[in-house]
C-alpha cells in the first residue's frame, strides 16, 4: 500500500481493534509540528469520554509496515497507543477546554529554530535568543520518559493576564524544577548506550572532555542553554570557555575552547548531520555557539545560512511525509 492508502485503511478499520469504544470518531489530519514539518495524524476520540482527541502520527507506523511488520500488528499497536493516550487524558483530567484556565505553574519553555518556525511564532508569545526562539508549552502530563504538552498561543497568554517577560521568568523556573539539568561526559553517555559492547577509549583529559547538556528526561534538553544556572554548572565542569553544538532540540554538546577541534569543522559537521541523521522536526540549528566565561554571554560562531544559500546547497525534497494538538514526546536518550 502507498502511504495515503495505508492511512485510509487505518481510519476505516481501527474501530475493529477498539471494541470497547462504541462512539469512536476517527479523522485523518495533517498536523504542523516543529520546524514546519507536517505529519499525518489519526485524530481519534470517543464521544462518551469528552471532546478531547488523541493524535496518533502515522509515518512511523507506515515505516514499520514497509519494514515487513504485518498490518495486523500495526493495527494492534495503534489501538494500544490510543488506549494509553485515552487513559492518560482521563486520569489527568485533560479536556478540550484545557486552555480556558491555564495554570502558570504548568508552563515551561522550549527552544526552537526561529527561521524554520516563523509562521508559528507569528501567533504565539516567544523570546528571541540568537537565531533561535524560546516558546512556551502548557504541560498536560509528564513523567520520567514522556511529555504531553501544547503550545501556548497569543490567546492563551491573554487569558493568563501576564506579559511575555513575566511568563518567561515563570516558565524558566518551572522548566528547571520539572526537568532538572543533566551534564554528563560524552564518554559516559556513549557507554550507557553501548551497554556491554566494548568501545574504544575516548580522550578523557579533564580540560578536553566533551559533555552532553540536556535534562534528566532527555526531552527538549537543548533548552538548557538559555538557563544561567545550567551554563554556570557547565562552566564549572569545563573550567572556562566552550563551544555549544546543537545536536538536536533534545541535547547539545559542549566542547572546551582549548580542545583540538576546529569550530569551522564543527559547523560543517553540524550542517551535514542535521540533513542526514537528525529528524527534521528535531533539528535545532546549524549554528555553533560560543560561551564566554568572562562575560557569561553566548554568541554565534557561524552565521545562519540564508534561504538562497540553503536552496543552492540542498536538493528539493518530496515530503510524503486543530482542535488542539497535544504533542507527546519521549526521552530516554
- Note the pLDDT tens digit of each residue in 129-166: 999 999 999 998 888 778 889 999 999 999 899 999 99
Calculate helix-pair angle for 3-13, 59-66, nearest 10 degrees: 110
One domain, residues 132 and 220: no
| Residue-wise burial string across 216-253, b where 16 or more C-beta atoms lie within 10 A, e elsewhere | ebbbbbbbbbbbeebbebbbebbeeebbbbbbbbbbbb
**pLDDT computed for residue 145 by the predictor:** 78
> Cell match 478540550: residue?
96
One domain, residues 208 and 284: yes
Please tell me the pTM assigned to this model.
0.82
**pLDDT computed for residue 123 by the predictor:** 95
One domain, residues 11 and 113: no
**pLDDT computed for residue 100 by the predictor:** 74
Q: Which residues contact 47 (CB under 8 A, 6 or more apart)?
A: 23, 25
Last residue of a domain, one of 94, 112, 137: 94
User: Residues of the chain whose pLDDT is less than 70?
Assistant: 48-51, 96-99, 190-207, 305-333
Cβ atoms of 222 and 248 within 8 Å: the answer is yes
- Backbone φ and ψ of 157, nearest 5°: -60, -45
Nearest partner of 84 among 148, 33, 26, judged by Cα: 148
One domain, residues 197 and 297: yes
**pLDDT computed for residue 199 by the predictor:** 43
Task: Decide if 327 is inside a domain.
Answer: no
**pLDDT computed for residue 188 by the predictor:** 72
Give bridge partners of residue 57 from the DSSP assignment: 41
Task: Decide if 143 is inside a domain.
Answer: yes
Where on the phi/psi map is residue 195: left (φ > 0), alpha (ψ -120 to 50), or beta? left
d(CA 95, CA 272): 42
Sign of CA dihedral 305, 308, 312, 315: positive
One domain, residues 88 and 36: yes
Chain-centroid distance, C-alpha 137: 11
**pLDDT computed for residue 307 by the predictor:** 59
Domain span at residue 296? 181-313
**pLDDT computed for residue 22 by the predictor:** 86
Split into its structural domains, the chain has a count of 3
Task: Decide if 301 is inside a domain.
Answer: yes
Task: Decide if 29 is inside a domain.
Answer: yes
Where on the phi/psi map is residue 224: left (φ > 0), alpha (ψ -120 to 50), or beta? alpha
Last residue of a domain, one of 110, 143, 178: 178
Helices (H) and strands (E) in the chain — how many of each? 10, 14
One domain, residues 149 and 104: yes
Task: Decide if 321 is inside a domain.
Answer: no
One domain, residues 24 and 72: yes
One domain, residues 90 and 110: no
- DSSP E strands: which ranges in 162-309? 181-185, 211-215, 242-248, 251-256, 289-292, 297-300
Task: Decide if 202 is inside a domain.
Answer: yes
**pLDDT computed for residue 92 by the predictor:** 75
Last residue of a domain, one of 41, 72, 94: 94
Cβ atoms of 140 and 148 within 8 Å: the answer is yes
**pLDDT computed for residue 255 by the predictor:** 94
CA angle 333, 230, 280 (to 5 degrees): 40
- Backbone φ and ψ of 45, nearest 5°: -155, 155
| Separation in Å, CA 6 to CA 10, 60, 328 | 6, 12, 22
Task: Decide if 307 is inside a domain.
Answer: yes
Q: What is the pLDDT of residues 175-186, one digit of tens each?
A: 999 999 999 998
The three grid cell numbers given for residue 38, joined into one nine-digit string: 507536517
One domain, residues 114 and 174: yes
One domain, residues 116 and 218: no
**pLDDT computed for residue 314 by the predictor:** 53
Task: Decide if 185 is inside a domain.
Answer: yes
One domain, residues 118 and 68: no
**pLDDT computed for residue 204 by the predictor:** 53
One domain, residues 252 and 132: no
Cβ atoms of 129 and 303 within 8 Å: the answer is no
**pLDDT computed for residue 46 by the predictor:** 84
Amino acid at each position: 500500500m502507498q502511504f495515503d492508502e495505508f492511512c485510509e485503511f487505518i481510519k476505516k478499520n481501527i474501530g475493529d481493534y477498539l471494541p470497547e469504544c462504541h462512539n469512536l470518531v476517527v479523522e485523518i489530519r495533517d498536523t504542523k509540528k516543529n520546524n514546519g514539518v507536517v505529519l499525518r495524524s489519526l485524530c481519534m476520540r470517543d464521544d462518551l469520554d469528552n471532546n478531547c482527541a488523541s493524535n496518533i502520527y502515522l509515518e512511523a507506523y507506515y515505516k514499520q509496515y514497509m519494514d515487513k511488520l504485518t498490518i495486523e500488528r500495526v493495527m494492534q499497536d495503534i489501538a494500544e497507543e490510543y488506549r494509553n493516550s485515552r487513559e492518560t487524558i482521563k486520569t489527568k483530567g485533560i479536556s478540550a477546554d484545557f486552555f480556558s484556565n491555564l495554570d502558570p505553574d504548568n508552563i515551561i519553555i522550549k527552544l526552537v529554530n526561529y527561521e524554520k518556525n516563523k509562521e508559528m511564532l507569528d501567533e504565539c508569545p516567544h523570546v528571541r535568543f540568537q537565531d533561535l526562539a524560546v516558546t512556551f508549552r502548557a504541560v498536560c502530563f509528564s513523567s520520567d520518559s514522556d511529555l504531553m504538552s501544547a503550545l501556548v498561543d497569543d490567546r492563551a497568554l491573554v487569558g493568563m493576564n501576564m506579559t511575555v517577560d513575566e511568563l518567561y521568568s515563570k516558565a524558566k523556573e518551572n522548566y528547571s524544577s520539572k526537568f532538572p539539568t543533566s551534564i554528563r561526559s560524552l564518554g559516559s553517555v556513549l557507554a550507557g548506550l553501548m551497554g556491554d559492547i566494548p568501545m574504544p577509549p575516548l580522550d578523557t583529559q579533564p580540560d578536553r572532555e566533551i559533555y552532553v547538556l540536556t535534562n534528566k528526561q532527555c526531552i527538549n534538553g537543548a533548552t538548557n542553554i538559555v538557563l544561567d544556572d545550567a551554563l554556570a554548572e557547565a562552566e564549572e565542569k569545563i573550567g572556562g570557555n566552550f563551544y555549544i553544538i546543537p545536536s538536536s532540540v533534545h541535547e547539545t554538546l559542549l566542547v572546551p575552547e582549548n580542545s583540538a577541534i576546529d569550530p569551522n569543522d564543527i559547523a560543517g559537521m553540524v550542517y551535514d548531520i542535521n540533513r542526514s541523521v537528525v529528524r527534521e522536526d528535531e533539528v535545532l540549528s546549524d549554528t555553533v555557539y560560543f560561551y564566554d566565561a568572562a562575560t557569561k554571554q553566548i554568541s554565534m560562531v557561524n552565521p545562519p545560512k540564508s534561504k538562497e544559500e540553503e536552496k543552492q546547497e540542498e536538493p528539493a525534497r518530496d515530503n510524503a511525509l486543530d482542535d488542539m494538538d497535544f504533542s507527546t514526546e519521549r526521552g530516554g536518550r
